[in-house]
Chain A
């Protein structure tokens, strides 16, 4: 390899490492940061993590998955094949899968009517969700019974009064 070619390759490698085509934000960003500084991240590759919530809405070969980091939920546009890997979506009875998404962030996505979204390039499951077991609250049960007793007493007293 000639010295010139070596020099070109080294220069290219250095340039691509230091100045990638579209700056990527490898550290996971919060929904608050993305919403408040949307213009800064618009069109950039970002990493965002959170819990899958609600419905997995399949639209042809792709799907909408809403992912919440606890403060806000952001819409993530991913392939239907990847969405199929999601086992649990968060709701009252389930804790949703926890996902880390790396993709292109749009402040107002032209493809999706101006919605703020992330078009996923890479997904990583951080944790699988689970069913939430909820035991009957003993305190509420007691309160319910006591109040029912008081109402029953009033009803009995009313009956006696009418006689």
Chain B
């Protein structure tokens, strides 16, 4: 028998949702200060309106749903799912008011793309956007990458037992430190230290590349935020192609790879335990999959002969590959070039890389390296069982923080999520094909949305059908939260309708 949710459940969900909205409203003060500094008063007004609406909504929920009770698992998961939808609406308000989006739906698309660290965009005339709005676009990626709930856990929630339930709901089942609040703060510490280092590195490279020093550091901060959080928004419409610089591309590749690492790996590296990086199953799987997918791309690009030298082929191919594999979405090609200048083999190689993703407990989306590694180990174990004598005891294990045995339960869980992602990629492609796009481009764009990558072959455009926009938005949301929280909310809705 399905139990109908009680009013108390709704109140608890509403109360914590209200707190998260207030937290998001506070983050809007950063673009306001930026706007005042640059004397961009209309954009400042956009954010003041955004803050006011968010605070009103947050206060309303907190007052109406006031409770002293803690969250249970189901409520925690629902708060997480809903907080990402609410964040999308709240984040879209100042974007829409800027006039750079054709409709509120388009602003919501970019807002969801930002929070989910995807990078697909429907923005118009980006090259004339204010510093204020541009900073917000990149900041929402930074916040989304850390996890909206991580923000709340770090600054606004003081050690309650429901914290872990929300932390897990944001697709971070691994605690770095014993306490989730401490884990959240560690994530922030790592990100902020790298933010300073990355901004300085990119800023100096920009200056050497001829950029205005101030603009160079602004771009450096923006690009760092979206590279480390594997998002992919950029301050100019040409993405990384704008800089025409091999050094700039190299630094962004390093930042993207750092962003694709497990935060737990960062913790080990910070503690001086460098051996961990060579032992961990995620890094070795990442190395193998990069090598495999890059080989496919190289063969494809060599066949078609678009690039005049091996160096050019490597630079273009490797950058798009790392951008796709880490789920970032920076491009040094125009979207239409994928279909015009790459052959099907190279595109398929890139789609495979996009679908795989980076490490768990990182800011990347997609299936992720740990699951791929576990599935590979399970295959190896089964193969050994066939080859070895019947009485032989075959045991496979892998290293991920500690030595772990490959158990059926672990393999099952990895396979379920992997299959769920593949279904999500295919469903989006079917919707794209329904609207008349060819299979390969529809599959490319769908994988990019669901795996939170952001590379585009040209489908994502303000003129595309509204239903396709909504499809990609749902894919980004589900992909970012890795299904569990979304399944919980679906179950909750069914319980409201059918429960007794």
Classify the secondary structure of B's interface with A.
Answer: helix
Q: A140 vs B249: C-alpha distance in the bound complex, in angstroms? A: 40
Which stretch from B42-50, B417-425, B473-481 is at the chain A interface?
B42-50
Q: A147-B49, A150-B56, A151-B55 are in contact. Are A36 and B336 (CB under 8 A)?
A: yes
Size of B's binding interface in residues, CB under 8 A? 49
Q: CA of A140 to CA of B97 in the docked complex: distance in angstroms?
A: 9
Majority secondary structure, A binding face = mixed
With A73-B236, A140-B49 as known contacts, state yes or no: A53 contacts B127, CB within 8 Å.
Answer: yes
Closest to B339 in A: A36
Asked if B439 is an interface residue, CB under 8 A from chain A, the answer is no
Q: Using Cβ atoms and an 8 Å threshold, which residues of chain A touch B49? A: 140, 143-144, 147
In the bound complex, do residue A66 and residue B238 qualify as a contact, i.e. CB atoms below 8 Å apart?
yes
A123 at the interface (CB under 8 A from B): no
Cβ-closest chain B residue relative to A108: B307
Q: Determine if B341 and A91 form an interchain contact, defined as CB atoms under 8 angstroms apart.
A: no
- B52, B212, B311, B312: the one contacting A144 at CB < 8 Å is B52
Chain B residues near A144 (CB, 8 Å)? 45, 48-49, 52
Closest A residue to B208 by CB, please name it. A59
With A55-B211, A110-B312 in contact, do A68 and B337 touch (Cβ < 8 Å)? Answer: no
A72 x B237 contact (CB < 8 A): yes
| Distance in Å: Cβ of A72 to nearest Cβ of chain B | 6
Contact of A103 with B by CB under 8 A: no
Whole-angstrom distance between the alpha carbons of A117 and B242 in the complex? 11
> Within the assembled complex, what's the spacing in Å between the Cα atoms of A116 and B41?
37
Number of A-B contacts (CB under 8 A): 127
**CB nearest to B241 among chain A residues:** A115
Smallest beta-carbon distance A23→chain B, Å: 20
What is the bound-complex CA distance between A73 and B331, given in angstroms? 14
CB–CB A114/B340 < 8 A: no
Complex: how many Å from CA A151 to CA B127? 35
User: Which of A64, A115, A137, A151 has the most chain B CB atoms inside 10 A of its CB?
Assistant: A115
**Given known A91-B128, A114-B316, A136-B41, contact A54–B242 (CB-CB < 8 A):** yes
Query: How many Å lie between the Cα of A74 and that of B308 in the bound state?
Result: 20
Docked complex: A42-79 residues within 8 A CB-CB of B:
53-59, 63-64, 66, 68, 72-73, 75
Q: Which of A135-156 contact B (CB under 8 A)?
A: 136-137, 140-141, 143-144, 147-148, 150-151, 154
Q: Does A113 contact B (CB under 8 A)?
A: yes
- Kindly state the separation between the CA atoms of A154 and B334 in the bound complex, as whole angstroms: 50
Shortest C-beta distance, B207 to chain A (Å), equals: 10
**Are A115 and B332 in contact, with the CB atoms below 8 A?**
yes
Contact of B210 among A59, A92, A154 (CB under 8 A): A59
* Chain B residues whose C-beta falls within 8 Å of the C-beta of A90 in the assembled complex: 127-128
Instruction: Select from chain B the residue with minimum beta-carbon distance to A73.
Output: B238
Contacts of B243 in A (CB 8 A): 57
Do residues A54 and B127 form an inter-chain contact, with CB atoms below 8 A?
A: yes
Between A59, A136, A147, the greatest number of chain B beta carbons within 10 A of the residue's beta carbon is seen for: A147
Q: Decide yes or no whether B209 CB sits under 8 A from chain A.
A: yes
Contacts of B315 in A (CB 8 A): 113-114
CB distance from B358 to the nearest CB of A (A): 25
Query: Interface code B429-451, partner A: CB below 8 Å = 1, 0 otherwise?
Result: 00000000000000000000000
Determine if A35 is an interface residue (Cβ-Cβ < 8 Å): yes
Residue from A39, A53, A140, A151 within 8 A of B46 (CB atoms):
A140
The count of residues in chain A whose C-beta lies closer than 8 Å to any C-beta of chain B is 44
Which residues of chain A have C-beta atoms less than 8 A from B42's C-beta?
A: 134, 136-137, 140
In the assembled complex, A112 has its CB within 8 A of some CB on chain B: yes
List of A residues within 8 angstroms of B332 by Cβ: 114-115
Write the nearest CB–CB distance from A110 to chain B, whole angstroms. Answer: 5
How does the 8 Å CB contact mask read for B236-251 relative to A, with 1 for contact and 0 for none? 1110011110100100
Question: Across the interface, which residues of A come within 8 angstroms of B238, CB to CB?
Answer: 66, 72-73, 75
CA distance A152 to B131 in the complex (A): 30
Min C-beta distance of A152 to chain B, whole Å: 10
Asked if B53 is at the interface (CB within 8 A of a chain A CB), the reply is yes
Q: Does B215 make an interface contact (CB < 8 A)?
A: yes
Is the C-beta of A107 less than 8 angstroms from some C-beta in chain B?
A: yes
Cα A39 to Cα B334 with chains together (Å): 14
Given A73-B236, A108-B306, A116-B334, does the pair A147, B52 have CB atoms closer than 8 Å?
yes
Give Cα A118 to B307, complex, Å: 16
Cβ contact within 8 Å between B211 and A147:
no
Q: Which residues of chain A come closer than 8 Å to B306, judged between CB atoms?
A: 107-108
Chain B residues within an 8 Å CB radius of A107: 306, 341
Residue B59 is within 8 A (CB to CB) of chain A in the complex:
yes
Q: From residue A105, how far is it (CB to closest CB) to chain B in Å?
A: 13
8 shortest interchain CB distances as A-B pairs: A57-B210, A114-B312, A147-B52, A53-B127, A58-B210, A92-B130, A140-B45, A55-B211
Using A32-B336, A75-B242, A92-B128 as known contacts, list a sample of 11 further A-B pairs with CB atoms less than 8 Å apart, ordered by residue number in A.
A37-B340, A54-B215, A55-B210, A57-B211, A57-B244, A68-B237, A91-B127, A113-B249, A113-B316, A114-B315, A116-B334
A interface residues with partner B (beta carbon < 8 Å): 32, 35-39, 53-59, 63-64, 66, 68, 72-73, 75, 90-92, 107-108, 110, 112-117, 134, 136-137, 140-141, 143-144, 147-148, 150-151, 154
Q: List 8 A-B contacts (CB under 8 A).
A: A35-B334, A55-B212, A57-B211, A75-B242, A108-B306, A108-B341, A115-B244, A154-B56
